Structure 1
Amino acid sequence: MKRRAGAAFSAILLAGSLLTPAQAQADSASCRDVAIPVRLAGLLPQTVHGRLCEPPQGARTVQVLVPGATYNSAYWDSARTPETHSFRLAMNKAGYATFAIDRLGTGASSKPPSALLTAFTEADVVHQVIQAIRHGDLGSRFDKVILGGHSLGSAITVLEAGTYHDVDGVLITGLAHRINPPGALIVLGSFIPVALDPVMSLRGLDPTYLTTRPGTRYAAFHAPGPDVPGMTAYDEATKDVVAPGELLDAAALATVLPYTRRITVPVLVVLGGGDVGLCGPLATDCTSSAGLRQSEAPYYSASARLRTYVLPGFGHSINYAPNAPDYHRAVSQWAGTMGLPR
C-alpha cells in the first residue's frame, strides 16, 4: 500500500514536471523559498515557509496567498498542467509577484501542537508575515500588498485584514456567509484524524490534526466539475492537514460574525458555481456573479467596494477547474481596476 502510494505520488510529480518547451518558456518568473520567523500566540517561536515568485520585470504589488483546510501552498501553484491550474503562474504572467505560504502545521512550515492553532492565531501569524514583507525582509520591496485566501485561508484573510488593516486589497475564494448544510456535511464527513491516513500517518504529526479520507477529494472539493483522474490524484497526493480549532472559529466567522464589515480596502469574492458547501437556493446564490454580490453585499462596508465572480461548473477548489484561467483573469483585472498596480 505504502509502496503504491509513493509510486503514484512520484508519477504525478513527474508528469507535472514534464512541461512542453512552450510552457517552460512561458514561466519566466524568478522563484525562491523564504522562511519567516514568527511567534505563535506571541510566545512560541515558529517558522512560516513561503515561495516568493516575481515576474522578470519585477512588480510593485505582491499577492500573499493563504491555502485552505487540508491544503498547503501547492494549491496555488499546481505542478500539473500549470498553464491552466497554477494561480501563481497566472498572476506572475499578469505582472504581479506572489508569496504563497504554508499555514503553520502544513507544508514546510513549523508543526506546533494542533491545540494551539485557530483561525485567529493563524491570522496573527499572517500579520507577522505581512509586516516582514513591508519591512523588506524578503529581499524585495513592494508598494502594495494583496492578501488572498482559499476557504479556511479566506477566513484567516478576513480576520487579518479586518483586525490589522495592513493590506491594500483582499481576495476571498471559497468562502461566503451562508452555508448549504447538506453540502457542508459532505465536506465535514471527509475529515479523519491524520493517524488514520495510510500515508500521512507516517509524518509523525500530532495525531489530533485532521486530513481527508482517501478517495473523498473529488466529492468534497471538485464536484460537480469533471472528475479528471490526474487532477484528483494530484489533489490527493498533495493534501495536507488542518487543526480542529481552525475550523471552529472559521465557521463562527463565516456564519455568525460579520467580521468582513471591518475590512476597509477593496474586496473580490470568488466562488465555484457548484460549491456544495456554500451554494444553494437557501444558501449563497452562485448562479451568477450578480447573484453572488447580492448575497454577500450585506456583510461588507461600502469602503470594501465589493466585487464578485462566479466560476461556473465547478466546486470548491476552483484552481483545479478546467476553466480556472477565466477566474485568474478576473482576479488580475479586478486588481488593476482597484488601483493595485503590477
Structure 2
Amino acid sequence: MAPLKAFSSLLLAAAAAARQCSLFQIPVEISSRQGQFRKVPVEGNLDVGAFATRFNEFQKNYTATLLQGYQTLQGKYDISAQYCRPDSGSSGSIQLLTHGIGFDKTYWDLDYNNYNYSYVNTALAAGYSTLAIDRLGIGNSSHGDAFNEIQAQAEVEALNAVTLKLRNGSIKEIGASYHTVIHVGHSFGSVQSYWLSALYPENTDGLVLTGFSVAAQFLPYIVAGWNLHSARLNQPLRLGNASDEGVRKLVSQYNVDKGLVPGLQRILGAAGLDLTSDDIWNAVATTEVLDLITGYNETVFQYDYPSGYLVSSDLTALQYAFLYPGNYDIGIALAGETTKQPVTVGELLTIGSSPSSSPFTGPVLVITGEHDVPFCGGNCYANLPNSTAENIPAGVAAAYPKSSAFEAYIQPGTGHGLNFQYNATAGYEVIQKFLASNGLGA
C-alpha cells in the first residue's frame, strides 16, 4: 500500500454493517480503597524517562517507594460508552468491552477498511448487544489526578458500577436490563475484568480475557519499550492544551493527508536534498514528527490531559508493544498512533495489585497473541519456571480453580494488539464459539 494512500484511509469513515449504535455518558458513583502516593515530577519527557527508569529497576519496588499510605476515594464520574445492538433486537445478553492501555473504546469497533476489523460487528452478528466503554480516566470518560485518583482499583469499581446498571436497567439510553453480562477485556481491560470477577464474582456471567496472562515479570519490557513521554508534550494540542497559534498555523500548512510529503520534498529540494516521497514518508511516519503533526492539528479532539498522563513515544514503540511485524496493515498502525491514548502514573503503580485468584464459577476464555510482549515476553508458548502449565496463558487456570470451563487459546502470528492484526476476525470467531459452547450464546 502506498504511504499516502495508507494515511488517507484514516480519514474515511465507511458505513458499518446493519446495526443500531449510540454514544452517551453513564454517570457512576464509586468508593475505592487505594494507594496514596508521593508525587514526583513527570511533566517533562526527561522526568518521565526518569520515572520509567526507577519503575523498572531490578529487584526494587518503586510502588512501595512512593506509597505513603491508603485512602478511600469517593466520587461521581462519567463513563463514556458506545452501545450497539443488532437490528433484530436485544437477546438479553450483552458483552461489556473494556479496552487496554494505549487505546479507548474504539479498539473494539475499528472503522479502518470499512470496519473489517470490528469486534463489535462480529458480536452483533452472533446476536449479542455490546457496550464498549472508555475506562475511567481515559478518552471521553472523566479524567482525574494521575497519581492518586486514576488507579486500577478505582477503574474496577467504575466497571462494576456500569455492570450493575446494565443488570438493573438503569441506563436510560438503553432502556432495558440484561440478564446475562459477559465481560470481555483486552490487556489492562482484561486485568480489570479479572479483578472484578475476584471482588464481585456474582456480577459477571462469563469472562473473555484477551491479551492476558498472570505472568507479571514482563511488565518492565513494555514500560521500557514504550519510551514513555508526557502525553501533553507528545501530541500537544490533541492530548494536552498547547495554545501556540503560530505553530498551529505553520503545521496546518502541511496537512498530513494532502500536502505534508510534497511540502517537505520542496523544502528539502531547495536545500539540495533530493529525497523521494517514500524516503520522506518513512522519516515522518516512523518518528515523533508524526505525533507532533497530529498533536498540533486543529481539527482533532482536545483531551487536555493533566500532568502524569503518559504515552508511548511513536509508531515504532507502538509496533514493539502491540503489533507483530509482517502481520498488520501499516494503515491501521498509523490509525492507532494518531488516535492513541495515555496511561496514568497511578495505573502503572497499581496494575499489579489485583487479587491472586478468583472464586468465579462460570466459563473463562483467555486468548493471547503468540508473540504478546507484555504478558508473554514475546513467546506465549514458553514455559515459566515453577509452573506446570503447558504455556503461559494456560497458567491463568490456576487463578480460576472453580470455573465451570476454562480454555487458553494462543492466536498464531499475533502480537499484543489482537484487533489490529490481519487475522483478528479469526480470533473473534474463537470467542463467539467458546461462549456459545458454554451456555452463553445469544
Instruction: Return closer, same or farther for 1:188/1:175 CA change in 2, 3 Å cut-off.
Output: farther
Deviations 1:42-101 (A, max 9, x none): 632110010100011122210001111121101111010255311111111111111000
- Paired residue secondary structure (2:182): strand
d(CA) in 2 for partners of 1:326, 1:133: 28
Deviation at 1:40, TM superposition (A): 4.0
CA contact (8 A) 2:329 2:422 kept: no
Residue 148 of structure 1: how far off its partner (Å): 1.2
Instruction: Give yes or no for the alignment of 1:198 onto 2:230.
Output: no
Contact 1:40 1:121 in 2 (8 A): yes
TM-aligned CA deviation for residue 221 of structure 1: 0.7
Q: Kindly indicate whether the alpha-carbon contact (under 8 Å) linking 1:62 and 1:99 is maintained by their aligned counterparts in 2.
A: yes
5 Å-filtered alignment, 1:39-78, equals 39-41=29-31, 43-58=74-89, 59-78=91-110
| Partner Cα distance (1:334, 1:307) in 2 | 8
Q: Aligned pair count?
A: 322
The AA in structure 2 aligned to 1:238 is: T
- Structure 1 partner of 2:307: 207
TM-score, normalised on structure 1?
A: 0.86
From 305, 330, 335, the equivalent of 2:430 is 330
1:249, distance to aligned residue in structure 2 (A): 2.2
CA displacement 1:2-41 (0-9 Å, x = unmatched):
xxxxx999944433x135xxxx4xx111101131111243
Residues of 1 paired with 2:114 and 2:321: CA distance? 22
Q: Answer whether contact 1:290 1:308 (CA < 8 A) is retained.
A: no
Q: Indicate the SS of the match to 1:251.
A: coil
Counterpart of 2:81 in 1: which secondary structure? strand
* Letter of the 1:274 counterpart: H
Q: Residue 306 of structure 1: SS of its match in structure 2?
A: strand
The unaligned stretches of length 5 or more in structure 2 are: 32-72, 242-302, 384-388
The Cα shift of 1:327 comes to: 0.7
Instruction: Tell me how large the CA RMSD over aligned residues is.
Output: 2.6
- Report if the CA contact (8 A) 1:293-1:306 is conserved: no
Q: 1:9 to 1:297 in 2, by over 3 A?
A: same
| In the alignment, structure 1 residue 32 sits paired with structure 2 residue 132 | no
Given the superposition, is the C-alpha separation of residues 311 and 213 from structure 1 closer, same or farther in structure 2, using an over 3 Å criterion? same
- Return the letter of the residue paired with 1:268: L
Q: Secondary structure of 1:247's partner?
A: helix
The match for 1:175 among 212, 215, 221 is 212
Kindly indicate whether the alpha-carbon contact (under 8 Å) linking 1:150 and 1:175 is maintained by their aligned counterparts in 2: yes
Q: Distance in 2 between matches of 1:10 and 1:112?
A: 33
Q: CA deviation at 1:174?
A: 1.0
Tell me which of 342, 367, 373 is aligned to 1:241.
Answer: 342
**Partner residue in 2 for 1:18:** 14
Distance 2:25 2:353 in 1: 31
Identify which of 150, 167, 173 aligns with 2:186.
150
Do residues 315 (structure 1) and 415 (structure 2) align?
yes
Looking at structure 2, the residues matched to 286 and 91 of structure 1 have their Cα atoms a distance apart, in angstroms, of 31
Instruction: Report the Cα offset of residue 291 of structure 1.
Output: 3.8
Whole-angstrom distance in 2 between the partners of 1:31 and 1:258: 37
Decide which moves more: 123-132 or 305-314.
Answer: 305-314
**Which residue number corresponds to residue 3 of structure 1?**
none
Structure 1 position 180, deviation (Å): 5.8
Contact 2:216 2:352 in 1 (8 A): no
- Paired with 1:94 and 1:286, the residues of 2 have a C-alpha distance of 33
| SS of equivalent to 1:38 | strand
SS at match of 1:185: helix
